[in-house]
Structure 1
Amino acid sequence: MQAAAGTAIINPAVLAKLAEYSNEFAAAMPFPHVVIDDFLEPAFAQALLDAFPAFERGNFIGDGGEPGGKSTLAKVRSLGPAYQQLDDAIQNRAFLDAIGRVTGIDGLIYDPWYLGGGTHENRNGMSLDAHVDFNYHPSERWHRRLNLIVYLNHEWDQAWGGCLELFRDPHVDGRASRLVSPAFNRCVIFETSERSWHGFDPIRLPEKQADMTRRSVALYFYTKDRPAEETAGRHTTFYVNRQLSERFTEGHALTRGDLAEIKQLLEQRDAHIRMLYADNTALRAAQDSGLTGHLLYLAKRAFVRFRR
């Protein structure tokens, strides 16, 4: 009975095809992933959408302290019965083992704090640059292994953007290897590794739909161990700023939309540079504080004087 409760939220048609999805996951390019339509029981997926939190209820304050176009909420159990059922299910061994069958990863661990996960909502104009995720749980000694995203958008045209992008290497090729439109009850499961570059392209809604938002539920899973050849030193999320579109070639006449895109790219790069400078300043402040900082200062002073 308890095992059944763990998979009760999943569409039975999906459970019947786990072996097929496993083959798709292993063979997918540019890194292991699978796209599963109608992933959840239809009524349950609708219940999640009906109880989706208002934008202002989540964390929508950006790094600069100003309101932004993205809102997230990690305390999913506060959202009512549907999200409580979701939380109960995804920590159940039967659910974790089902996802393990698809991905070939045993011993999956759910994150009870939803760090970085939970409900995600993005407004018109938002995008997400290509990145690889942090590779260890921030507070536990767990390896991050999988992202599972369920989209909750009934009306969405791929031409509106907001599509999940999977990249081979955004440093070399700014074009995504695969685009996945965020359609209602569509689930994407992908391996998180040092090469799982992903993001989503800019949301550009028509005027009549400009008040719509891109909604999803993001779930992250971990394991206690990871194969040595896949293990890297602990790091935070690595971002690569979006490259200029290939349509910007010699002789191209700039449109108003082109100028807006160039301005946005420059703003994103400036924000990235400011973030790096802030991180560097904070690191130096931490190094300079306390006994360790004083000893480091004396060592640097001695080194400089010795060189002279």
Structure 2
Amino acid sequence: MPESNAGAGLSIMNRTLPVLLTGAAKMNRDNLIAETYLSDPDQYFEVYDKARPFRHLVLDDFFEPEYARSLLDQFPAFDTGRAMNENGEVGAKCVHDNMPELGAPYRALDEYIQSREFLGWLERMTGIDELVYDPDYFGGGTHENRHGQDLDPHVDFNKHPKTGLHRRLNLIVYLNEEWHADWGGAIEFHSDPRRPPEENQIEYVQPKFNRAVLFETTHWSWHGFERINLPEGDDDPRSRKSVALYFYSKTRPPEEHTKPHSTIYVERPLPEHIQAGTTLTYEDFQRIRILLARRDQHLQRLYNNISDLSAQNEDLIAQRDRARKMLDELSGEDDGETATAVRHARRWLARKLLG
């Protein structure tokens, strides 16, 4: 896949913006991040704001070299217990969300990204005010993806399941040395994967060592990554490694509002070379089987979600009916002060339970 245009100027609105996205040699050890990014974050806002297909930045040499190396050196081992996919099966993706427990480099990162200094810097880079760090690392942390893994185009869940805060930003830093483009794994930014392939604009960014991608979380920020194809297949010891950090806020602009939702996936289309009259190879046949199986699994997950919601709805109806019965029984009481108290209680219960 084509390389991102990061480091060569970013073509936006039929013009080329200045080259801003390559880290300088001077680093700031106290802040972990390259000084070139910390010194004047406002200069990056225009690039971020005008990027397409949605707002994003690609930042090379993001961390100090020694610090980036320490993150890779202490990257946690692949743990099958942390590699369960959405179908309850052991997959090829492992997530460690216990960042402060992964060693000194990760503890330092955890402390830094919750500081007002860092959050203020992020706000100036993106124009998003009052950003909040997530101590739970829900969905975030270290991500390791092995041979054969990919990630269908999707938009992320839009509210934190515990706090209800609005999810606003993804910051992903890659830790892959000598990564080759033909190994796959490039992150994809889609305009709309629900459209026919010829109408879906895609930007690709290779997951190179110490490269960061920063992008908005909205109901149009579709992203994923292509299948990883390592030279030695399942026996290849290499993997696609990254650190994923998500940031939130109490509010968001009206144009970004939508109903609360979980992560929304779109299955990939058939490979472009499969056309009418094409003679299918065995690999083509296997690819089609995989796509059909993933579609069926997705439908099953949706069916399970609908079944769960139906059960919850039935439970709420039962609670409502019990409340109505109790209110009817209370309404029969009529002995002065008790009757007055009952009427107040009945009205309160009606407001709370019956709407």
Provide the residue aligned with 2:241 in structure 1: 215
Taking the aligned partners of 2:155 and 2:129, their CA distance within structure 1 comes to 22
TM-superposition CA deviations, 1:70-127 (whole Å, max 9, x none): 1101111110111000000000111111111111111110101000100111111111
Aligned residues: 294
- 1:251 matched to 2:274? The reply is no
Taking the aligned partners of 2:128 and 2:316, their CA distance within structure 1 comes to 43
Counterpart pick for 1:185 among 200, 206, 210 = 210
Unaligned 5+ residue runs, structure 2?
1-27, 323-355
Following TM superposition, by how much is the alpha carbon of 1:176 offset from its aligned partner in structure 2, in angstroms?
4.9
Counterpart pick for 1:265 among 276, 279, 291 = 291
Q: With structure 1 as the length reference, what TM-score do the two structures score?
A: 0.89
Note the aligned Cα RMSD (angstroms). 2.3
Are the counterparts in 2 of residues 7 and 89 from structure 1 also a CA contact under 8 Å? Answer: no
Larger C-alpha radius of gyration, 1 or 2? 2
Provide the residue aligned with 1:75 in structure 2: 98
TM-superposition CA deviations, 1:103-158 (whole Å, max 9, x none): 11111101010001001111111111111111111111311110000001002111
Are the counterparts in 1 of residues 189 and 223 from structure 2 also a CA contact under 8 Å? Answer: yes
Letter in 2 for 1:153: N
Following TM superposition, by how much is the alpha carbon of 1:279 offset from its aligned partner in structure 2, in angstroms?
1.2
Provide the residue aligned with 1:89 in structure 2: 112
Following TM superposition, by how much is the alpha carbon of 1:6 offset from its aligned partner in structure 2, in angstroms?
10
Following TM superposition, by how much is the alpha carbon of 1:288 offset from its aligned partner in structure 2, in angstroms?
2.9
Q: With structure 2 as the length reference, what TM-score do the two structures score?
A: 0.78
Provide the residue aligned with 1:277 in structure 2: 303
Unaligned 5+ residue runs, structure 1?
297-308
Deviates more, 1:130-139 or 1:15-24: 15-24
TM-superposition CA deviations, 1:203-252 (whole Å, max 9, x none): 11112783311111100001111112221121111111111122111222
Write the mapping of 1:93-242 to structure 2, written as runs, cut at 5 A: 93-174=116-197, 175-207=200-232, 210-242=236-268
Q: What secondary structure is seen at the aligned counterpart in 2 of 1:67?
A: coil
Are the counterparts in 2 of residues 22 and 102 from structure 1 also a CA contact under 8 Å? Answer: yes
> Which structure would you say has the larger RCO, counting Cα contacts within 8 Å and 6 or more residues apart?
1
Change (3 A) 1:70 1:291: same
Change (3 A) 1:91 1:272: same
Are the counterparts in 2 of residues 6 and 92 from structure 1 also a CA contact under 8 Å? Answer: no
Following TM superposition, by how much is the alpha carbon of 1:58 offset from its aligned partner in structure 2, in angstroms?
5.8
Q: What secondary structure is seen at the aligned counterpart in 2 of 1:253?
A: coil
Are the counterparts in 1 of residues 153 and 222 from structure 2 also a CA contact under 8 Å? Answer: yes
Letter in 1 for 2:168: R
Taking the aligned partners of 2:33 and 2:245, their CA distance within structure 1 comes to 15
Kindly, what percent of the aligned residue pairs are identical? 46
Taking the aligned partners of 1:201 and 1:284, their CA distance within structure 2 comes to 35
Letter in 1 for 2:32: I
Provide the residue aligned with 1:299 in structure 2: none
Q: What secondary structure is seen at the aligned counterpart in 2 of 1:38?
A: coil
Deviates more, 1:11-20 or 1:98-107: 11-20
Are the counterparts in 2 of residues 135 and 193 from structure 1 also a CA contact under 8 Å? Answer: yes
Deviates more, 1:52-61 or 1:161-170: 52-61
Following TM superposition, by how much is the alpha carbon of 1:161 offset from its aligned partner in structure 2, in angstroms?
0.9
Change (3 A) 1:221 1:291: same
Write the mapping of 1:3-82 to structure 2, written as runs, cut at 5 A: 8-16=31-39, 18-56=41-79, 59-82=82-105
Letter in 2 for 1:84: R
TM-superposition CA deviations, 1:284-304 (whole Å, max 9, x none): 2223337636849xxxxxxxx
Are the counterparts in 1 of residues 97 and 142 from structure 2 also a CA contact under 8 Å? Answer: yes
Taking the aligned partners of 2:221 and 2:189, their CA distance within structure 1 comes to 8
Are the counterparts in 2 of residues 6 and 88 from structure 1 also a CA contact under 8 Å? Answer: no
Taking the aligned partners of 2:228 and 2:310, their CA distance within structure 1 comes to 37
Letter in 2 for 1:189: L
Are the counterparts in 1 of residues 80 and 90 from structure 2 also a CA contact under 8 Å? Answer: no
Taking the aligned partners of 1:173 and 1:44, their CA distance within structure 2 comes to 43
Taking the aligned partners of 1:240 and 1:124, their CA distance within structure 2 comes to 21
Taking the aligned partners of 2:81 and 2:74, their CA distance within structure 1 comes to 13
